[in-house]
Amino acid sequence: MSTVTIFGAAALSRATQAEADRTLDLLLEYGVNHIDTAASYGDAELRIGPWMAKHRQDFFLATKTGERTYTKAKAEIHRSLERLRVDQIDMIQLHYLVHPDEWDTALGPDGALEACIEARTQGLVRFIGVTGHSRTIGAMHRRSIARFDFDSVLLPYNYPMMQDNEYARDFEALIAECEARNIAVQTIKGITRGPWATKDRTHATWYEPLVEQADIDIAVQWVIGRPYIFLDTVGDIHLLPKVLDAAARFTERPDDEAMRRVVEAERMTSLFV
């Protein structure tokens, strides 16, 4: 049973080990028990590895492979096991599976999915998921779960994106199917303000985030107030405490009017057009 907030370990991609260790203390303080990292997240797997000797039993540990062929994905899965210093990963995910050509390769003969299935058969991983973030990802995930019985999906979910009728339609159809099939739904980009409008970036996220606690409270609680979904926290260790604090103080979901006020005040926009 995973906590509704999942630690998005992209936040550790450029962190020092000391910063990573302080982050672990914060996760333990808030009772977060699920770590979501990826082979492509810089040094994140290396930063998590030292935690596992003492805390492996405390976390559901997930990582991702961005490779599309069997041979390369197999090599990357084994590399992740070494970097994370574990004998088994709880979940391996096909990372950012969006482009149709890559989808055909990854889920076709000698594709990355075969490497994931083999790793599961060998006891190296327990579950297999698929991730992505684009305007069409809801439809693509439905295509993926029609091809294979994935254990989880991951995609963006926030108020501005759900004002896009096409995205909202695909998202709702995906959620309905996932609920019916007991497929976990992990969401990302919960506190996205929009694309960076300036080259002077103040945070490690690739999007411009909300930064005020009051705004983060409403955005986070609007996401986690929806039944059945999980929230990957944020790709910045300095914003992480605000996200965890917002989730810890959740009592009920803010209404859409509260979200609209934040959208207008902060000029929030969708990441994808």
Q: What is the pLDDT of residue 4?
A: 98
Whole-structure pTM value = 0.96
From first to last of the 273 residues of the chain, give the pLDDT tens digit: 999 999 999 999 999 999 999 999 999 999 999 999 999 999 999 999 999 999 999 999 999 999 999 999 999 999 999 999 999 999 999 999 999 999 999 999 999 999 999 999 999 999 999 999 999 999 999 999 999 999 999 999 999 999 999 999 999 999 999 999 999 999 999 999 998 887 678 888 888 999 999 999 999 999 999 999 999 999 999 999 999 999 999 999 999 999 999 999 999 999 886
Residue 235 half-sphere exposure toward CB, CA atoms < 13 A: 19
Task: For the chain, give every domain's residue range.
Answer: 5-266
Question: Residue 172: what are its φ and ψ, rounded to 5°?
Answer: -65, -40
Q: What is the CATH number of domain 5-266?
A: 3.20.20.100
Inter-axis angle of helices 70-84 and 44-55, nearest 10: 50
Which residues, at least 6 apart from 152, have a Cβ–Cβ distance to it below 8 Å? 91, 93, 127, 129, 130, 183, 184, 185, 186
